[in-house]
Structure 1
Amino acid sequence: MTATDPCPELLRYLRGAREAVLWKLDGLSEYDVRRPVTPTGTNLLGLVKHLVAVESDYLGTVFGRPFGEPVPWADPGAEPNTDMWATPDESREYIVGLYRRVWAHGDATVAELGADAVGRVPWWPQDRAEVTVRLVLVHLIAETDRHAGHADILRELIDGAAGLAAGGDNLPAVDRAWWEGYRDRLERAAREAGAADGPPLG
């Protein structure tokens, strides 16, 4: 990276977040990658499907370089939240493959245009709709890392698997018994602190 070109470093962070999201699908059944784990329906494959739309828009449409494959769930008239879950006929392989092809398209946009190229985000307020590639990369890092965090928690709730990335989970090297004791300790601390609030209502 040169002093005047932040794109390689920004892309490195974005690529790490992309891979982290996909890693959370590894080893799970079709049911588990799709099942809604939260009351609002958040699910692992849906996060990937959503990010397909995000990247195809921000590193495609915004800079006049539309992604060359249909992404119907990104259309303004699509059913609400249709980008957040996969239908039975949308295979994991299709969605993951589409996401990887969107990455390649986005990376090509960055390489071709450079950090200071200007685009327009039509769904943003008029006073900040004009953006640069650099700003969009920062936005995409924030967006993708946010959803990687969602995926971390979903995966842990599904089967207990946790960690930052394949080959480097960034967790203490301890066994299951230690984690159980640790969680119990946190529960006791929370109950002790919560006692100051008085008995729960209802």
Structure 2
Amino acid sequence: MTDNDVTTRDLTAQPAVTDERAEWLESLAKHRHFLRFTTRDLTDEQAGLRTTASELCLGGLIKHVTSAERLWVDFILNGPSALPDFTAMTESDWARRADDFRLLPGETLAGVLAAYEEVARRTDEVIATLPDLGRSWPLPKAPWFEADAQWSARRVLMHIAAETAQHAGHADIIREALDGAKSMG
């Protein structure tokens, strides 16, 4: 299956919507495509390599985006209990979260891409069917969140799209440093 087949299947599998939800689906599909595209034709070993001063690798970026998207969609559906209490996290909690940024022994690029596709499908379904994108929940306590802030489903989707786009850019740099391949240009 080629990357174009994945993109076509993803777009045709999405529920038919015509309002702002269609724009969210289109934006996320575009950013997800660029992120996945950086992994084309790589081995599992290559997907786990660090190619810059950063701790990031391509497989780890896919895992991180998958995990973050899953958590944020859980937040849309279930509120702040879906996210950890960041102020109460221990060193070992942070170490486990750091594993989201690495391709661990036994993990494969195909496996993390399949998990990402499954999470994306779920997110797309929530976007298409959630009765109210304005529904808001209070954010959990964290040093990087404003105290007493609330985010609507719409704001969470903006965050997911921005994070996916940002990490696609990181992935492009990592891939170019790996073998010279670029997503664009």
Q: Could you say which TM-score interval applies, normalised by the shorter chain? A: 0.7 to 0.9
Shift of 1:78: 4.9
Matched, 1:54 2:68: yes
TM-score, with length taken from structure 1:
0.68
Shift of 1:7: 2.1
Q: Indicate if the aligned counterparts of 1:11 and 1:137 stay in contact, CA closer than 8 A.
A: no
Shift of 1:149: 0.5
The answer for the alignment partner of 1:28 in structure 2 is: 42
Matched, 1:134 2:154: yes
CA distance in 1, matches of 2:108, 2:180: 24
Aligned counterparts, 1:60-139, within 5 A: 60-64=74-78, 77-79=93-95, 80-113=97-130, 114-122=132-140, 123=142, 124-128=145-149, 130-139=150-159
The answer for the alignment partner of 2:171 in structure 1 is: 151
Aligned counterparts, 1:31-46, within 5 A: 31-46=45-60
Larger radius of gyration: 1
Q: Which has the higher helix share?
A: 2
Q: Indicate if the aligned counterparts of 2:175 and 2:182 stay in contact, CA closer than 8 A.
A: yes
SS in 2 for 1:119: strand
Q: Indicate if the aligned counterparts of 1:58 and 1:121 stay in contact, CA closer than 8 A.
A: no
Shift of 1:35: 0.4
Name segments (4+ residues, structure 1) moved above 3 Å. Answer: 123-126
Identity %: 28
The answer for the alignment partner of 1:179 in structure 2 is: none
Aligned length: 153
Q: Deviations over 1:21-45 (max 9, x none)?
A: 1111111122111101122321101
TM-aligned CA distance change 1:109 to 1:131, over 3 Å: same
Structure 2: stretches of 5+ with no match in the other structure: 1-16, 80-88
CA distance in 2, matches of 1:120, 1:37: 38
Alpha-carbon RMSD: 2.1
TM-score, with length taken from structure 2:
0.74
Q: Indicate if the aligned counterparts of 2:57 and 2:102 stay in contact, CA closer than 8 A.
A: yes
Q: Indicate if the aligned counterparts of 2:24 and 2:127 stay in contact, CA closer than 8 A.
A: no
Matched, 1:10 2:24: yes
Q: Indicate if the aligned counterparts of 2:31 and 2:168 stay in contact, CA closer than 8 A.
A: yes
Q: Indicate if the aligned counterparts of 2:31 and 2:161 stay in contact, CA closer than 8 A.
A: yes
Shift of 1:139: 1.0
The answer for the alignment partner of 1:19 in structure 2 is: 33
Shift of 1:92: 1.6
SS in 1 for 2:151: strand
Equivalent AA in structure 1 for residue 148 of structure 2: D
Structure 1: stretches of 5+ with no match in the other structure: 66-75, 165-170, 172-202
Equivalent AA in structure 2 for residue 151 of structure 1: A
Shift of 1:121: 3.0
